[in-house]
Amino acid sequence: MDNRDLEWVARERELMSRALEVSPELRYKLCDMGYYNDAMKGYLIAGMRKMGFSESEIRKAILGMRAAMDEKTAEEAERVYTGEW
């Protein structure tokens, strides 16, 4: 690698580190606004299928997830997940 390549790698690392610096407040706001709902539901469906749950059980879980999304903020949901609730 020559110096230009090393400079490019350093610049890309800097850009990536800045892109990953998302405050908890912004993360919660984006979640509460619904930006990640489809992705979270997709993860739930994929995980349940992988573990052999029936489609009926998956539908019930999705309905429960929708209700929880309406009732809890992202911050509250994170606390439930980490056992702080």
The predicted-structure confidence for 48-73, as pLDDT tens digits, reads as follows 999 999 999 999 999 999 999 999 99
What letter does residue 26 receive in the DSSP assignment?
A: H
Mean pLDDT, the chain, as a whole number?
A: 88
Cα separation, 6 vs 22, in Å, equals: 26
19 or 3, greater pLDDT? 3
Cα separation, 24 vs 61, in Å, equals: 26
User: So what's the pLDDT on residue 19?
Assistant: 60
Q: What is the pTM of this model?
A: 0.68
Is 61 in contact with 44 (CB distance < 8 Å)?
yes
User: So what's the pLDDT on residue 76?
Assistant: 95
Is 81 in contact with 65 (CB distance < 8 Å)?
no
